Each structure stands twice: as C-alpha cells, then as structure tokens.
C-alpha cells in the first residue's frame, strides 16, 4: 500500500470498510466524545477494540494498553490521542502491522502530528490526517450533515484521487 499524505475518499472508504478497528485514546468517561464515538461504532456493527493504558475495560469490552497487545489483531486504528502521544501510537501500530490509521480531528490539531504523518509516509501506511468519522458514516445526526455540506461547498471535503490513467 502506498502512503497517502492527505485524505482522499478512497483512503477514508477503505478505512471504514474494515471490520476490526482499535480506538486508541478512548476515554473511560462515558460522557466524553471519544467514548460516545466508540459506542456508536459498536452499535454500527464494527468490532471496536479500546486502547487505553489506564483502563482494563471500557463499555464492557476488554481494553488493551497498547495496540501490539490486541489479539486477534485489528485491521485499522482510529487515534483519538493528543498530538504528542500520536507519534508513539503510530509506532506501535506499525510494529503491530497496522497499515490503516485515522488521526481524529474535529477542531484544533486533534490527534494530528507532523512527526506521526512523516512516520506513516515512511512506512507505507494509509492515513486519514484529521477528519471526523461522522462526516463519512451514514445516518448521522443532522449537524454532521450540515458540517459535511459546508465542507463540500467551501472545497474542504476530501475528493476522489485521480489516477494517471484517468480511472478512479
């Protein structure tokens, strides 16, 4: 898999087509956004595995301290970590053989780290650097649709990658 340095719809769709996804940085606080997104992914049928070194269980699911500890392994990892922790988690993902990483962001930097992006590129990891999954999941709350619409009309919504032979 070649590295992707910016979001394209193909990379996003490929990530969301995976069934078994680690969520690194998911909070133990059920009111936090990361815990709510985790719960929603579970309800949508994803086999979601929590990763938090400070918890043994989240929402009734066994929680792992590091992605390398997850058995059976996951297909992808959604990082909801601070930018300073993201580089370490990306290294853990690479060590675990994970080649699809989503660095969550709604506002601010989110989980995005330049060092982590460079590491993904160097190791051929497909990365979604700073998007909110709700913009790409079906049947989300109305305000996610409004956000998606605004991003489309302002040109900030990811596009399909055009290949040299003209196929998408």
Q: What is the pLDDT of residues 101-139, one digit of tens each?
A: 999 986 666 889 899 999 999 999 999 998 889 888 888
Question: Rounded to 10 degrees, what is the CA torsion of 27, 29, 30, 32?
Answer: -70
| Each residue's pLDDT tens digit, 73-91 | 999 999 999 999 999 999 9
Domains and CATH numbers, the chain: 9-153 (3.40.50.720)
Rounded to two decimals, the pTM is: 0.85
Q: In degrees rounded to 5, what are phi and psi of residue 83?
A: -55, -35
d(CA 23, CA 41): 10
Paired sense of beta strands 20-24 and 47-51, if any: parallel
Best CA proximity match to 23, nearest among 2, 59, 52: 52
């Amino acid at each position: 898999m070649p590295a992707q340095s910016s979001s394209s719809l193909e990379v996003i769709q490929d990530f969301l087509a995976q069934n078994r996804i680690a969520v690194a940085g998911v909070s133990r606080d059920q009111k936090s956004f990361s815990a709510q997104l985790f719960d929603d992914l579970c309800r949508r049928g994803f086999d979601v595995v929590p990763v938090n070194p400070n918890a043994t269980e989240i929402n009734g699911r066994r929680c792992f301290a590091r992605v390398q500890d997850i058995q059976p392994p996951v297909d992808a990892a959604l990082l909801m970590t601070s930018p300073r922790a993201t580089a370490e988690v990306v290294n853990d993902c690479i060590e675990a053989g994970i080649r699809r990483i989503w660095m969550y962001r709604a506002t601010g930097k989110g989980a995005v780290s330049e060092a982590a992006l460079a590491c993904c590129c160097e190791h051929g990891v497909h990365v979604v650097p700073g998007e909110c999954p709700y913009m790409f999941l079906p049947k989300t709350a109305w305000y996610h649709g409004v956000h998606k619409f605004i991003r489309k009309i302002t040109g900030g919504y990811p596009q399909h990658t055009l290949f040299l032979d003209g196929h998408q």
